[in-house]
Amino acid sequence: MQSTIKRMLFNFGGYSFWVVLVCWGFLFLLLKSCQTVCHHTVVNTVSSPNGEQVAEISIGDCGGATTDFFGSVDVTSNNSRLSAEKLFTFAGRPEETGLEVYWVNDNELVISVSDLYKARSINPNGRKSADLKVSYRYRERQN
């Protein structure tokens, strides 16, 4: 009697393991197939005076007729202390926001816009360290 109960519990545990494993696998494949495919493209780069840091303006598109473009300003550098991610993000294309990016010197970047309605986020904390200085400016749109 005791060995029959042990066998039933052992079989139940084994079958349960495989059922749960198959369910997790199916759920993983289902969720993976629901992911959107977003494409990011660097549309402009601005090099610092010494050429070691590069501000990249990129836009992304997740496809579909009803989705708008979105973009960000990132800084890449061989020196990790002068790198930054998503310092400024915006909706639409860079020219729609009036986005201008320029370097004051080798470690000071200025991000200027003329349409704050297109701004999604201003993120000075995207810097890896305080060695990279970032200024944000708003300017009136010229007609």
- pLDDT tens-digit readout, 118-138: 888 888 888 888 888 999 999
Query: Do residues 61 and 37 make contact, with C-beta atoms less than 8 angstroms apart?
Result: no
The pLDDT value given to residue 1: 62
Give per-residue pLDDT as tens, 61-81.
776 665 678 899 999 988 888
Q: How many helical (H) and strand (E) elements, i.e. helices and strands, does the chain have? A: 2, 8
The pLDDT value given to residue 37: 66
Ranges of each domain in the chain: 1-35, 39-138
The pLDDT value given to residue 35: 62
How confident is residue 101, by pLDDT bands cut at 50, 70 and 90?
A: very high
How confident is residue 105, by pLDDT bands cut at 50, 70 and 90?
A: very high
Give per-residue pLDDT as tens, 6-58.
787 778 777 888 888 888 888 887 777 666 567 778 999 999 999 999 999 99
The pLDDT value given to residue 53: 92
The pLDDT value given to residue 21: 86
Q: Which residues pair with 42 in a beta bridge?
A: 58
* DSSP 3-state of 127: strand
The 10 Å Cβ neighbour count of residue 111 is 20
What is d(CA 55, CA 14) in angstroms, rounded to the nearest whole number? Answer: 56
The pLDDT value given to residue 64: 61
Task: Tell me: pLDDT of 113 over 70.
Answer: yes
Closest-CA residue to 122 (of 106, 107, 131, 110)? 110
Q: Which residues pair with 135 in a beta bridge?
A: 110
pTM higher than 0.75 for the full model? Answer: no
> Across the chain, where does the E strand assignment appear?
39-47, 53-61, 70-77, 84-91, 100-105, 108-113, 119-122, 133-138
